[in-house]
């Protein structure tokens, strides 16, 4: 008899998204507002950069840490936009931000170490902590505080076993953006307890209103581990290209782990990433404007639906909507909305217990599709 699979990855809660996805796959004409994959096609010039590189023979392994031109483009971007000075010993090319988080987590976590995660959280955080024998410790954020962390509760969650805190601002799924004081307080907690800080900065361009993106590495470069991605900034999700930015010992350790993971990211994707980063202002404003317009439209119109409670997103490309007045829990509501109106959203509990009673709506479809979704919410007849 074949021995059983690892218990670690057999938790039914991890299958919420898969079950909803299976239902959606059997349906036609679904308005898919579930996944954070921008509907915009990658700019032709970025595609051409990869295509031209491949035709010129750029189809082999790059250096393990990444192509030097790509790494220099990452460093130049951080210097130009955030006035931060790093060198090639501080950066590594990765296959997206999740890959960066995985190898960096492996570089610092020993079995039994604790990592503090703010809820609601991006789903891979828990898995990546547990993959190395670490223990996730969750600190809930609340809608009445704009999903900002309670610093007293955060500090109380830190123990002698705590190794790191994960900070995601702008936040997926809540859309929260942490201000200067909040980030400064987090840094103080980290320094007092000698913790690493994972800074997930995937959504840095998507900050709205009076909110401002503040790179955590500008406040604590000696302990901040940045996971970056070009997926959302340039609509390049399929290219699987990102980077890890961190102190040299972490980069070195992550490199050793990565020898058995991917060795090096895809060479043409690095070439495309180099071009994209070096021409950032040609692409980024268009996407920023599109998502600001979409999120404003959704927030303004969904706020008129009696059973929904909507806070405009401070950042990211998502709206996190309170559906508790519907009388359904978030899983039942998402399933009902899909079956009744062909609209696919993600139940909030997929992002941790603090997401119960919420749904995440990704503004990753064009305006005609978003208008269909708004009509669906407006005309949905809730079960009695």
- Residue 5 banded pLDDT, cuts 50, 70, 90: confident
- Domain 44-280 matching CATH 3.40.640.10: the answer reads yes
pLDDT at residue number 140? 98
pTM: 0.95
Q: What integer pLDDT is reported at residue 11 of this predicted model?
A: 64
Cβ partners under 8 Å of residue 219, min gap 6:
183, 184, 187
Q: Give 151-168 pLDDT, tens digit per residue.
A: 999 999 999 999 999 999
Determine the Cα–Cα distance for residues 233 and 363; give it in Å rounded to an integer: 14
pLDDT tens figures, 82-130: 999 999 999 999 999 999 999 999 999 999 999 999 999 999 999 999 9
**Could you tell me what percent of the chain has a pLDDT over 70?**
98
Helix/strand/coil for 193? helix
Strand partners of residue 364? none
Architecture of domain 7-42+283-379: Alpha-Beta Complex (3.90)
ω into residue 120 within 30 of 0, thus cis? yes
| Percentage of the residues of the chain whose pLDDT score is greater than 90 | 91
Query: What's residue 16's pLDDT?
Result: 72
User: Where in the chain do CATH 3.40.640.10 domains reside?
Assistant: 44-280
Q: Are 61 and 267 in contact (CB under 8 A)?
A: yes
Give CATH 3.90.1150.10 domain extents, the chain. 7-42+283-379
Q: What is the pLDDT of residues 240-299, one digit of tens each?
A: 999 999 999 999 999 999 999 999 999 999 999 999 999 999 999 999 999 999 999 999
pLDDT band at 1 (very low <50, low <70, confident <90, very high): confident
On whether the CB atoms of residues 241 and 272 are closer than 8 A, the answer is yes
* Count of Cβ atoms closer than 10 Å to residue 326 Cβ: 21
Mind listing the pLDDT tens digit for each residue in 37-81? Answer: 999 999 999 999 999 999 999 999 999 999 999 999 999 999 999
Contact (Cβ atoms closer than 8 angstroms) between residue 187 and residue 220 = yes
pLDDT of residue 21: 72
């Amino acid at each position: 008899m074949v021995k059983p699979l690892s218990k670690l990855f057999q938790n039914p809660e991890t299958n919420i998204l898969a079950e909803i996805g299976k239902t959606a796959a059997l349906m036609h004409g679904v308005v898919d507002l579930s996944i954070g994959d921008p509907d915009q096609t990658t700019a032709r010039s970025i595609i051409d950069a990869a295509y031209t590189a491949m035709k010129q023979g750029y189809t082999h392994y790059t250096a393990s840490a990444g192509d030097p031109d790509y790494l220099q483009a990452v460093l130049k971007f951080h210097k130009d936009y955030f006035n931060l000075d790093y060198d090639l010993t501080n950066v590594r090319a990765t296959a997206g931000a999740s890959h960066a988080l995985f190898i960096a987590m492996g570089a610092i976590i020993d079995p039994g170490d604790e990592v503090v995660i703010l809820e609601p959280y991006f789903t891979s955080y828990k898995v990546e902590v547990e993959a190395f024998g670490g223990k996730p410790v969750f600190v809930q954020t609340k809608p009445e505080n704009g999903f900002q962390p309670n610093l007293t509760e955060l500090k109380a969650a830190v123990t002698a076993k705590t190794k790191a805190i994960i900070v995601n601002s702008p936040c997926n799924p809540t859309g929260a953006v942490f201000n200067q004081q909040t980030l400064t307080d987090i840094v103080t907690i980290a320094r007092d307890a000698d913790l690493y800080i994972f800074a997930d900065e995937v959504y840095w361009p998507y900050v709205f209103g009076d909110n401002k993106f503040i790179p955590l590495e500008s406040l604590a470069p000696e302990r901040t581990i940045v996971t970056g991605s070009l997926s959302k900034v340039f609509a390049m999700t399929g290219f699987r290209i990102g980077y890890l930015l961190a102190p040299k010992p972490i980069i070195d350790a992550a490199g050793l782990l990565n020898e058995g993971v991917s060795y090096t990211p895809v060479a043409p994707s690095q070439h495309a990433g180099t071009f994209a980063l070096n021409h950032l202002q040609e692409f980024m404003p268009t996407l920023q404007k599109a998502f600001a317009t979409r999120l404003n439209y959704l927030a303004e119109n969904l706020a008129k639906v009696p059973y929904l409670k909507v806070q405009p997103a401070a950042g990211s490309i998502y709206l996190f909507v309170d559906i508790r007045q519907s009388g359904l829990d978030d899983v039942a509501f998402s399933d009902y909305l899909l079956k009744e109106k062909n609209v696919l959203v993600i139940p909030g509990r997929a992002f941790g217990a603090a997401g119960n009673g919420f749904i995440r709506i990704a503004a990753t479809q064009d305006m005609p599709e978003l208008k269909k979704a708004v009509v669906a919410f407006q005309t949905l007849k809730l079960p009695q």
